[in-house]
């Protein structure tokens, strides 16, 4: 606003700067130019701003929000229900699993008792003879078959001589056990009838062949006289007996012969030797010496093991020897070992 002119004076005639325009009310207006690129319209942010919602829109949004919250609550309830059902189902499954485990343990226990009873039925009764100690170790080729083709028998003849039979029937499992039982029973019958030791292998074959042509087994027969330590051996294709002397030396007792079911079965001769006091005789099957590829290596390891464990109690010797020889097994096989010590 310009100051009023004093009365009686001339109006100001100086030009106003920047093209100012005077208005009748005494004010002055300047039209100032804007910087380049700007206009007098509203800024873009204001142009893009959405109009405010009215009350109806707000009410609709609130209704939709309440519906969404209700659905979320329903889903949460359903989730809790399913979680509870799953927990209940898991509890039932766990209880069933525990019952199955208990039942399985009962079956394993019953199965073990049956297998032990079967093993005991196949073994001869422990033999107690003055001047001798006898011990045996047996292990089947597979835990699934409690018995195999390796079998033994021992008994005392009427004259006091101890007879021992070791049989290794062809095959594994129950079928081979039947063959081994057939052979041992035939040998026992012939021995008790008084047949000479050198003829028993051949006569066993002649008795069994007409009934079952599939019978095939190796066998070792030993007769031990407790009074003087005399030992007689006959053989049918079986690994040789091993004798460890009291001085720590060991000797394989070789006897040639062919087993039951082999061509020309029979023992070629009877080997006679003596057991001195504290000598240990080992009768065994090839599961010990053929646990590796080289049987000669197995025989050398067997000799070393027997000499090393000779001083152990007799009942421990077969197990210790077998454990040492089958520590590294290339193929599974039944193992049988019998230790006989002369004590006097």
| CA gap 300, 8 in Å, rounded | 152
Examine the pLDDT at 343 and tell me if it is beyond 50.
yes
Q: What are phi and psi of 117, to 5 degrees?
A: -65, -40
Q: What are phi and psi of 27, to 5 degrees?
A: -95, 160
To the nearest 10°, report the CA torsion of 69, 75, 78, 82: -140
Q: 235 burial class (0-12, 13-18, 19+ CB within 10 angstroms)?
A: buried
Q: Among the ranges 42-56, 79-93, 119-133, 200-214, which has the highest mean pLDDT value?
A: 200-214
- Lowest-pLDDT range, 25-29, 51-55, 186-190, 225-229? 51-55
Confidence of residue 330 (pLDDT cuts 50, 70, 90): low
Predicted TM-score of the model (pTM): 0.69
Instruction: Look at residue 4 in the predicted model and tell me its pLDDT.
Output: 46
User: pLDDT tens, 233-286?
Assistant: 999 999 999 999 988 899 999 999 999 999 999 999 999 999 999 999 999 999
What residues have CB less than 8 Å from 63, skipping those under 6 apart? none
- Sheet order of strands, 230-236 included: 150-156, 162-169, 217-225, 230-236, 271-274
Domain 126-342 is found in CATH 2.60.120.700: no
Output the average pLDDT for the chain: 84
| CA gap 171, 239 in Å, rounded | 17
Instruction: Look at residue 9 in the predicted model and tell me its pLDDT.
Output: 44
Share of the chain above pLDDT 70, in %: 81
Confidence of residue 218 (pLDDT cuts 50, 70, 90): very high
Confidence of residue 24 (pLDDT cuts 50, 70, 90): confident
Examine the pLDDT at 182 and tell me if it is beyond 70.
yes
| CA gap 136, 157 in Å, rounded | 20
């Amino acid at each position: 606003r310009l100051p009023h002119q004093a009365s009686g004076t001339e109006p100001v005639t100086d030009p106003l700067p920047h093209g100012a325009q005077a208005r009748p009310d005494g004010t002055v207006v300047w039209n100032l130019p804007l910087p380049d690129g700007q206009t007098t319209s509203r800024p873009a942010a204001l142009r893009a701003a959405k109009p405010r919602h009215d009350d109806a829109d707000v009410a609709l949004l609130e209704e939709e929000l309440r519906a969404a919250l209700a659905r979320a609550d329903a889903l949460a309830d359903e989730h809790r229900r399913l979680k509870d059902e799953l927990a209940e189902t898991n509890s039932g499954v766990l209880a069933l699993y525990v019952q199955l485990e208990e039942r399985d343990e009962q079956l394993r226990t019953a199965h073990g008792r049956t297998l032990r009873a079967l093993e005991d039925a196949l073994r001869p009764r422990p033999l107690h003879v003055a001047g001798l100690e006898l011990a045996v170790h047996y292990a089947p080729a597979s835990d699934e078959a409690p018995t195999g083709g390796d079998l033994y028998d021992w008994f005392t003849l009427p004259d006091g001589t101890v007879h021992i039979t070791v049989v290794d029937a062809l095959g594994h499992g129950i079928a081979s056990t039947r063959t081994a039982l057939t052979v041992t029973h035939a040998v026992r019958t012939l021995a008790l009838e008084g047949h000479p030791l050198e003829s028993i292998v051949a006569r066993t074959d002649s008795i069994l062949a007409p009934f079952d042509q599939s019978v095939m087994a190796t066998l070792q027969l030993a007769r031990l006289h407790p009074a003087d330590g005399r030992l007689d051996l006959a053989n049918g294709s079986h690994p040789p007996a091993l004798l460890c002397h009291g001085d720590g030396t060991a000797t394989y007792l070789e006897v040639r012969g062919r087993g039951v079911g082999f061509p020309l079965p029979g023992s070629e001769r009877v080997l006679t030797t003596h057991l001195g006091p504290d000598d240990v005789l080992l009768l065994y099957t090839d599961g010990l010496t053929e646990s590796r590829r080289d049987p000669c290596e197995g025989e050398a390891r067997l000799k070393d093991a027997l000499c090393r464990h000779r001083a152990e109690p007799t009942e421990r010797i077969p197990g210790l020897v077998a454990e040492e020889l089958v520590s590294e097994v290339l193929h599974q096989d039944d193992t049988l070992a019998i230790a006989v010590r002369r004590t006097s």
